[in-house]
Amino acid sequence: MSARRAPGRIRIGVSGWRYARWRGDFYPRGLPQRKELEHIGTRFDTVEVNGSFYSLQRPESYRTWRASVPADFVFAVKGSRYISHMLRLRDVEQALANFFASGVLALGSQLGPILWQLPERQRFDPEVIDAFLTILPRTTGEALALATRRDERLSDRAWLEIEEDVPLRYALEPRSATFAAEDSLRLLRDHGVALVAADTAGRWPRFDCLTTDFAYVRLHGAKMLYHSAYTPEELREWAELIRSWRDGTGAADGRPRDVYVYFDNDARGHAPHDARALAALVDEGA
């Protein structure tokens, strides 16, 4: 009889943390903005950095963020939209070098998956996707080597250190139904990249296919994109699915997986409350 595999770990958090609507609600009234991430760290064990999507952050920002949370806290980092939305994943080596030199590696052991969100117009093109996934560094050592090829804009603000050479994880969030094709799933499996399960109030397709050794979930709102709260029934459904992926019972191969879940229904302040509620439901069924 084969040994029973240990379950994966579920981490549940929010996408970003600097929202005016959360102040005096999720954040205690009078809490200084510089303390908001510290507060996140007392309630969750992960957060998704989304400022990195809009612009290159600085090493001192990543270092400050890391110092604000417990040692076992994990940061998922959203990849640059310059790479995904402007370059459309083509000719991206220089942009990737700048991204990894900007301070991402300063997170050290607390660096979680790196998320690449694609625009709706980005259809599945096997050559483009394969070339992009092939060029992604697979370890922090490879990322450091790539970062040394940064351009002059980062000459005096680059982070070129790693604590140890460890594997990197990547997740892809496409918004075109063409990524449901078997060729797409096979390509993601070959590269060990997670296909994001995104709930987008029906605006974009939802993919529940497991393509690597972890799962990545983004909850943008079930009824109104970025605005609606999740009902207890909706959260229970997600809790059951997430637990099944953690335990392996919901996977065709029976393999347990780590699961990362981020709420992005932040426009009306629901995200942190829904994240807390989902975490409690997951714990109830542990």
Residue-wise DSSP of 9-74 = -EEEEEE----GGGBTTTBPTT--GGGHHHHHHHH-SEEEE-HHHHS---HHHHHHHHHTS-TT-E
Q: Record the tokens describing residue 214, joined without a space.
A: 């972890």
Q: How many CB atoms lie within 10 A of CB 66?
A: 19
Find all residues with CB under 8 Å of 245, minimum gap 6, and list them: 8, 210, 215, 251, 257, 259
Nearest CA to 172 out of 222, 127, 234, 122 is that of 122
pLDDT, tens only, 131-149? 999 999 999 999 999 999 9
What pLDDT shows up at residue 124?
A: 98
What pLDDT shows up at residue 286?
A: 63
* CA torsion angle 219 225 228 233 (round to 10): -50
What pLDDT shows up at residue 285?
A: 73
CA distance 37 to 237: 29
For the chain, what are the domain ranges?
11-220
Vertex 165, ends 162 and 168: CA angle to 5°?
Answer: 95
If DSSP codes are grouped into helix, strand and coil, which group holds residue 156?
coil
Q: Where are the alpha helices (DSSP H) in the chain?
A: 36-43, 51-54, 59-67, 81, 93-101, 126-135, 140-147, 182-191, 232-247, 271-284
Which regions of the chain are under pLDDT 70? 1-4, 286
The share of the chain scoring above pLDDT 90, in percent, equals 95
Vertex 203, ends 177 and 131: CA angle to 5°?
Answer: 35
Nearest CA to 79 out of 115, 133, 48, 118 is that of 115
Domain 11-220 has CATH 3.20.20.20: no
